[in-house]
Structures are given as structure tokens and as C-alpha cells.
Amino acid sequence: MNPNLNQPVTILKGIGEETAEMLSEMRIYTVRDLLEYFPYRYEDYRLRDLAEVQHEEKVTVEGKVHSEPSLVYYGRKKSKLTIRVLVGAYLIKVVFFNQPYLKNKISMNGLVTVTGKWDAHKQLITANELQLGENKKNNHFEPVYSLRGKLTTKGMRKFISIAYQQYGSLIEENLPNSFLVKYRLLNRKDAVKSIHFPENQDEVKQARRRFVYEEFLLFQLKMQGLRKFEREHSPGISQSYDLLKLKEFIDKLPFPLTDAQKRVVNEILKDLKSPYRMNRLLQGDVGSGKTVVAAIALYASVTAGFQGALMVPTEILAEQHAESLKHLLEPFGIICELLTSSVKGKRRKEILQQLMEGHVHVLIGTHALIQDEVSFQKLGLCITDEQHRFGVEQRRILREKGENPDVLFMTATPIPRTLAITVFGEMDVSIIDEMPAGRKTIETYWAKPEMLERVLAFVEKELVKGHQAYVICPLIEESEKLDVQNAIDVHTTLSHYFQNRFKVGLMHGRLSSDDKDAVMKEFSSNEVQILVSTTVVEVGVNVPNATMMVIYDAERFGLSQLHQLRGRVGRGSDQSYCILLASPKSEVGQERMKIMTETNDGFVLSEKDLEIRGPGDFFGKKQSGIPEFKIADMVHDYRALETARSDAAMLIQSKDFWSTEEYAYLRKYLEESGVLAGEKLD
């Protein structure tokens, strides 16, 4: 057999079955896998002036031994070897733990180079490496790999070095040459060399730049390829809605649509009409008016003879949506029903029956919507709200309740562009980037818990004006482990504080849905003026008369979540306020509070949130399908991501891509990853 990169690692000298076994645990099976197993950082062996080294930083220094080594044993097999070393003007201590054998190698006045962690207070290096004589690794970066089992860094470096020596020449280029020239990227062979055996920092940087681009481009090609495939191959329905009726509906709304709403409505209508299946993400900050857009889309679908479904993550939200949709749609003869797990017995049967017979036009609900017993007569449009709270699987089940229905995902969590084009890269995106006229920006303040009295006085001032307030706590009940405010206690305290003047309600996830409903109704109708709640009110809840949002222990929430909570106020025409009660200890926490007081823009916040928390945590759950990149970082490398995205889009659309030799490798890649056959990405 001709030598090739797909041969098992055992073909390499020095790699036997046992090593291969260990490597396989790291998903390294072939020579190619080994060569493409990149270091996650580099050891920097350049000599540095101790004056410039930070406390606890790793450093390499060269110096003259200034004392006889002293060796102390303590416990079994434990030892500490100490020497004094003169490094420039510094006389420092260097200690080696559990390497007693070094004692005989070190001699007074000899030259040594040590690498280890610098303790600036004790003027001491805890060393893990010793070189006798001068630094032979000067100007050198050594790769550090993430390893499993008994593999050592040294061993790994050796294996990769052997692999490169024997097989490096077989590494093929996969990027079109024109791209290498255009972006001045290293070719693949050189990049592999530089990433494993760099001479200096710049080589690492260049190699990394190349692989980041490659990784993003391949990923985006898959996404865009899939999108193209879906468009062309997945049969959809062309919904011939009644434009006249739709216009009348829009004219009769209590307010004119914003330009942004008009734009997204048009984008959605176009998708409904087209024979392709709509696969669209609708983003709009809290309060930007997505519900009415959903209503228009649902109405359109019904006038075309189809049914619609709206799935939301919580019962409260389902109820609210059902209420507003009924309010909007029923005057036009559209029958809307609510289905949650608390709709039971005869009522449930009735709804399901009518749904099957097509008498229910729009079904609104929670996960209850995707149960087996639910079947539509002719489902044409599926909408999910806060869709990142649903798994891929749940969304698929809902979709399969109809025959290729159009699909719209709505979210009020502004998704940073980087995530939108990775996680949702195969979707079309509509953005409502404009608030309805007359909205005032919510004034946000950060207060220390000691200032509670003043905060309550502020709340009272709003209540006296006839407004209402939310008070959010992170927990329901007192917790032994956590010293944070809980809703039950705060409810008791505030009830007492405001007694005989205002009524305080309590809401949390453990109430029965009847009780939740009752509390929510009391708050909506202003029988209750203050609602103490956990984050169950986070999404969707709409009480325009509420102008005050107080959040206890605000540092415990992420930025996006705080923004969602804040979005519960500012929904009417009155000035609203948000008060963050927090004394964050960490710098990150303080930073977050500050950002909240500085901006009301959900997109700015979400970008910051992504920066602080990283993509994996952004949605709070792992199920959200965020791709894992081997080397690229979609936050820090977002420019490369943008570039790769537009390049991929350009390639997929160009005729040349599908025919010329230059793109053969990329075509093969798409074929092998199943995209051209319409297989789903995992």
C-alpha cells in the first residue's frame, strides 16, 4: 500500500498497541489524526527579566548556583531540594519537589537554567524543569497537548515529530490557492509544521490563523450547503394567503406597525408563499413586538387554509400568548385554543378532537403540543418562542405534526451575530431592530443591599402614582447552602413593610398553575401592586402598568437574563426603572452590573455576555447545538468567522465551485460530510 495519512498510528516507529490504545482514547487513530492534534498552548522558554514577571507567572531564567543544594525529606518519597541562584541582580531561591536525584547534578557556581512558577513575594521559583548550563531552548516555544492516561508531553511531542518526519510530505492542501494568496495564509503542510514545532510566537500565530480560517470555512460550507440543499430539496408548501384580509387585519391593529415589523412581516409572507419550506429565525429585543408579527403570520396561514401552532417554554407564557392571540385573532373568526398539561379531561379531549377536524385554527401551548395524542388536520405554520429552550428533537417533532410546514423561531434573547451564524447558520434570519414609538428607555440603577430602605422608598413613590412593581429573587425558599434572598421571605418582609397600603403577591415555579394563574391575574388587574417572584416571569409576561423592577442578588444572573427581567417593565408609555440590588465580589460581577446600567440594547448586552461566559454557557444549556471548534474561538476570532461565512456563501452560489479543479477538495469534503445528500449536521 502506498503510504498515506489514513494509516493507523501503529505504522509509526515507537508507537505500539499500548500507545495506540491510549491515543484512541483521545480519538487519535490515524497518522492524520495525530498530525492534526493541535497543542492547546505553548511553553515559552525565552529568558526574561524577573523585574517584568508577574507573581505566579511561569518563567525561565538562567543563573549561577550560589549555594550548596540542600535536600530535605518529609514523608514517604517526598522531598524538597533548595538552591540559591543568582539571576542578574536577583538572588533567588529555587525549589524542586520530589526530584532528589538532581542534587548530585547541581554544583556550586555552575550555570543552570530553570523553568517554573515565580513567587514574587518570596522571590522564589518552584521549578519543574532544570537544564544544566545555558538555556538551550532560548527563543523556543514548546507545544503542550491536552493528554489522557499515561501519555506524557514529551512522548506526544516525539510521536508527532516522527509522524511529521515520515509523513509530513503527504499533507495536502485543502484550501483553494486563491484564498491562500488573498489572505496570506500558510499552506497546510507548513502550518502543521509551525503549529507543532514553532520557532517563535509569530509562527504559532500564522499557523493558528490559517487553521482558524480553515475550520470556519469548512464549517460554514457545511451550513450553507445544507441550507441550499434544504431550500432546493425539502418540499415545502406554498401558502396562498388572502392579502386583502391580511391588510384589513393589519389596518385594524390598535397601532401602526413599526418599519422593522413591516419588514419582517414581508420576509415571512414571502417565505409562506414560496414553495420552499420556511426555516426562519425571528429575533427582536424584549418588547419589540414579536407577538403581533406571529399573529399576522398565523392569520395568513389560516386564510390559506392551514392551521398554525405556537409552542412556548412555560405555562405562564403560553397562557399570555393565548390570551393576546385570542384578543387579536378572534374578532376575525379565528379559533385559538390553549393546550398545556393543566388542560385536562373533557376539555382536553374536545380541543384535540376539534384540532383534528380543523375547527381549531391556532393551537398555543407548551411541550404539551408535541405529545403523540396531538394531531392537526392540516398544519401549515409552526412557531416556537424562545426556541433555544427547546431541543432540536422537540422542534423536529412539532414540525412533523404537519407535512413540511413552514417554521418560524422567535427569540427575545438577542443572539450575538457570531452565534447566529454558527448555531443557526442554516436558517434565514429576520431582525426587529426598532422599538415601537413612544417607548422610554428604562433607567437602571445598581444599588448595594444596604440601601434597601431607599430603594423601597423609591418603589413606593412609583406605587403612589398608581404603578406596579416586580421584585425578583433568585430562590423560592431559604437555602442552607446559599446566602441569597428567597421569594418567600422577601414576600413576607414586603407584605409587612407595605401593609395597609399596597398588596404584595407571590409567584414561583412551585405554585400550581391555577395558583400562578390567579396571582398573575391579580397582578394584571392591579389588585396586587407588587409581585415578588422568581425568574418564572422572565419571559414574555406583559403588564404595561408595571414600571418598577427590583432584582435581588442581581449578580447571580447572567446579562441576558437580567435584560429579560428588565424587559418586564418599560412596556407602557411611562418612565420605568430597574434596580439591581447587588454586591458582587468578583470583577466580572461588578462589570456586569455596570454594563446593565449603561445600555438598554439587548444586542450589545448579548455580545458582552458571550464574551464573559463563552459560547458553551450562552444559552445556559449544552443542548443548544453550539458547535465545538478544535482551534477556532468564535468570540475572539469573529472576524475570521465573518470572512469565512461570506466566502462560503459566495462559493456555494458560484458555478465554478461545483465544477472547477480548484475547489475539488472542498467539494469532496461536502460530499463526505453528507451535506450534499441532505444529511443533518450533528
Report the interface residues with ligand ADP, using CB under 6 A: 255, 257-258, 261, 284, 286-292, 412, 436, 542, 544, 571
Residue 258, binding choice from Mg ion, ligand ADP, none, Cβ under 5 to 8 Å by partner class: ligand ADP
Say which residues have a Cβ less than 8 Å from residue 246's Cβ, sequence separation at least 6. 269, 296, 299, 300, 303
Q: Cell triple for residue 434? A: 426598532
Closer of 215 and 386 to ligand ADP (Cβ): 386
What is the CA 146 to chain-centroid distance, rounded? 23
Minimum separation from the CB atom of position 513 to Mg ion (A)? 19
Are 500 and 514 in contact by the 8 Å Cβ rule? The answer is no
- Supply the minimum distance, in Å, between the C-beta of residue 411 and ligand ADP: 10
> Do 486 and 478 contact (CB within 8 A), yes or no?
yes
User: Which CA distances in Å does 116 have to 85, 130, 264?
Assistant: 13, 9, 58
Q: How far is the CB of 385 from ligand ADP (least distance, A)?
A: 8
| Residue 419 CB, nearest approach to ligand ADP (Å) | 19
Nearer to Mg ion, 160 or 317 (CB): 317
Contact 460, 498 (CB under 8 A): yes
Interface ranges with Mg ion (CB under 5 A): 290, 540
Min dist CB 497 to ligand ADP, Å, is: 30
Number of residues in the chain: 682
- Residue 542 binding target from ligand ADP, Mg ion, none, CB below 5 to 8 Å by type: ligand ADP
Q: DSSP letters of 187-222?
A: PHHHHHHHHHS-SSHHHHHHHHHHHHHHHHHHHHHH
**CA–CA gap between residue 123 and residue 116 (Å, rounded):** 12
Nearer to Mg ion, 135 or 366 (CB): 366
63 binds, among ligand ADP, Mg ion, none (CB under 5 to 8 A by kind): none
The distance of closest approach from Cβ of residue 291 to Mg ion in the complex, given in angstroms and rounded to an integer, is: 5
User: CB 290 → ligand ADP: shortest distance, Å?
Assistant: 4
Which of Mg ion, ligand ADP, none does residue 194 bind (CB under 5 to 8 Å by kind)? none
658 binds, among ligand ADP, Mg ion, none (CB under 5 to 8 A by kind): none
Query: Which of Mg ion, ligand ADP, none interacts with 255 (beta carbon under 5 to 8 A by kind)?
Result: ligand ADP
| Residue number, 168 or 544, with CB nearest to ligand ADP | 544
Closer residue to Mg ion (CB): 387 or 529: 387
> What are the angstrom distances between the C-alpha of 293 and each of 188, 274, 409, 469, 638?
48, 18, 12, 28, 31
Binds 307, which of ligand ADP, Mg ion, none (CB < 5 to 8 A, cut-off by type)? none
Q: How far is the CB of 236 from ligand ADP (least distance, A)?
A: 26
> Could you give the angle at the alpha carbon of 383 between the alpha carbons of 377 and 385, nearest 5°?
140
Report in angstroms how near the CB of residue 39 gets to ligand ADP at its nearest.
Answer: 45
Q: How far is the CB of 372 from ligand ADP (least distance, A)?
A: 30
Q: Do 23 and 29 meet the contact criterion of CB atoms below 8 Å apart?
A: yes
Q: Which does 436 bind (CB under 5 to 8 A by kind): Mg ion, ligand ADP, none?
A: ligand ADP
652, 658, 664, 665 alpha-carbon torsion, rounded to 10°: 30
Is 261 strand, coil or helix?
Answer: helix
Q: Which residue is nearest to ligand ADP, using beta carbons?
A: 289
* Residue 444 phi, psi dihedral angles, 5° rounding: -115, 135
- Between 228 and 263, name the residue whose CB sits nearer to Mg ion: 263
Nearer Cβ to ligand ADP (320/624): 320
261 binds, among ligand ADP, Mg ion, none (CB under 5 to 8 A by kind): ligand ADP
567: Cα separation from own chain's centroid: 20
CB nearer to ligand ADP: pick between 198 and 414: 414
3-state secondary structure of 247: helix
Residue 107, classed as helix, strand or coil, is coil
Q: Which CB atom, from 83 or from 549, has the smaller least distance to Mg ion?
A: 549
Q: Smallest gap, in angstroms, from Cβ of residue 351 to Mg ion?
A: 23
Tell me the CA distances in angstroms from 526 to 37, 466, 517, one per residue in order.
62, 9, 14
User: Which one of ligand ADP, Mg ion, none is in contact with 487 (Cβ closer than 5 to 8 A by kind)?
Assistant: none
Q: What are the beta bridge partners of residue 281?
A: 409, 429
Minimum distance from CB of 365 to ligand ADP (Å)?
Answer: 17
CA dist 198 and 193 (Å) reads 7
Residue whose CB is less far from ligand ADP, 94 or 312: 312
The residue among 113 and 542 lying less far from ligand ADP, judged by its C-beta, is 542
Grid cell of 117 as nine digits: 512558577
- Could you give the dihedral angle defined by the CA atoms of residues 406, 289, 371 and 357, in that order, rounded to the nearest 10 degrees? -70
Residue with Cβ nearer ligand ADP (255 or 658):
255
Query: Which CA distances in Å does 321 have to 518, 542, 553?
Result: 16, 10, 29
